[in-house]
Amino acid sequence: MPTTLLAVDTATEICSVALARGEQVTGRAEAVGQRHSERVLPMVHDLLSERGLRLQDCDAVAFGAGPGAFTGLRIACAIAQGLAYGIGRPVVAVGNLAALALAASGAAPGVRRVLAAIDARMQEAYWAVYSIDGDRVREVSAPALAPAGELADICRSHAPDLVAGSALLAFPEAASRLSCALAPEARASASTIVRLAATILAEGGAVAADEARPVYVRDRVALTIDERRPVAGGGRR
């Protein structure tokens, strides 16, 4: 029987779920704002019903492990853990930046190295660099946090073919200093997460449900009052 994988992602305002059975991937996505916890399970139910499958038919449950919105990452992890635990299956944690790199490369044939960068708020970006070979994504530089103004230096240091992600929209001045191809609209989703999860599962990278953890990168979620003043004065947030 082909491997069957379920994936959920709630790292951004877009809630997405996907199901892969062998090479066939079916996904759903909704802009839900802060309603991830309300929508993700009904979306999973609808997707399984559409494919004529039960949760028990899944060999593993994957989730977007981050970095991303703290609450969203906790929701995705908890949902994946609960679903997997209930059917005695493992969990596959997939990095959202890796999934973003895969999504961006799919829309840009010939791209072999991607700098994935997303808005981390507080005038910072989450970023990582990946090499791409088909559905194989190899980490060149691990997910990290940097001031938006450092993106140009990071780009020069790693020489990617493409820079992708929401940081390009959030920080247009920084984006204007980049000298390679840009994909500001590229997004990670459960559909790319489930593709990466298949490789991770095949290589023995799944974990028991109670061992799954998000990847936060940042250890604080807000600026202090003093730190917020110059940001407000500069007209951003």
Q: State whether 127 and 144 are in the same domain.
A: yes
Q: Which residues of the chain are modeled with pLDDT < 50?
A: 221-237
Q: State whether 87 and 194 are in the same domain.
A: yes
Token code pair at residue 114: 């991607």
For residue 218, is it within any domain? Answer: no
Q: State whether 119 and 178 are in the same domain.
A: yes
Between the two ends of the chain, the Cα-to-Cα distance in Å is: 51
pLDDT score for 164: 98
Q: State whether 76 and 125 are in the same domain.
A: no
The candidate with the shortest Cα–Cα distance to 131, out of 113, 155, 104, is 113
Write down the residue that tokens 């060149």 correspond to: 140
For residue 226, is it within any domain? Answer: no
Token code pair at residue 134: 């088909």
Q: State whether 141 and 198 are in the same domain.
A: no
Total number of domains in the chain: 2
Q: State whether 37 and 106 are in the same domain.
A: no
pLDDT score for 109: 86
Q: Give pTM, 2 decimals.
A: 0.90
For residue 224, is it within any domain? Answer: no
Angle at the Cα of 9 (from 6 to 14), degrees rounded to 5? Answer: 130
Amino acid at 32: V
CATH number at residue 118: 3.30.420.40
Cβ contact 111:135 at 8 Å: no
Token code pair at residue 203: 């290589």
Query: Can you give the three-state secondary structure of the chain, one letter per residue?
Result: CCCEEEEEECCCCEEEEEEEECCEEEEEEEECCCCHHHHHHHHHHHHHHHHCCCHHHCCEEEEEEECCCHHHHHHHHHHHHHHHHHHCCCEEEEEHHHHHHHHHHHCCCCCCEEEEEEECCCCEEEEEEEEEECCEEEEEEEEEEEEHHHHHHHHHHHCCCEEECCHHHHCHHHHCCCCCEEECCCCCCHHHHHHHHHHHHHCCCCECHHHCCCCCCCCCCCCCHHHHHHHHHCCCC
The candidate with the shortest Cα–Cα distance to 122, out of 25, 22, 217, is 217
pLDDT score for 135: 86
| pLDDT tens, residue by residue, 58-110 | 999 999 999 999 999 999 999 999 999 999 999 999 999 999 999 999 989 89
pLDDT score for 73: 96
Residue 163 domain boundaries: 97-183
Q: State whether 74 and 103 are in the same domain.
A: no
For residue 12, is it within any domain? Answer: yes
Q: State whether 206 and 174 are in the same domain.
A: no
| pLDDT tens, residue by residue, 53-68 | 999 999 999 999 999 9
Q: State whether 58 and 112 are in the same domain.
A: no
pLDDT score for 65: 98
Q: Distance between CA 160 and CA 145 in Å, rounded?
A: 18
The candidate with the shortest Cα–Cα distance to 158, out of 137, 127, 136, 182, is 127
pLDDT score for 72: 95
For residue 236, is it within any domain? Answer: no
For residue 237, is it within any domain? Answer: no
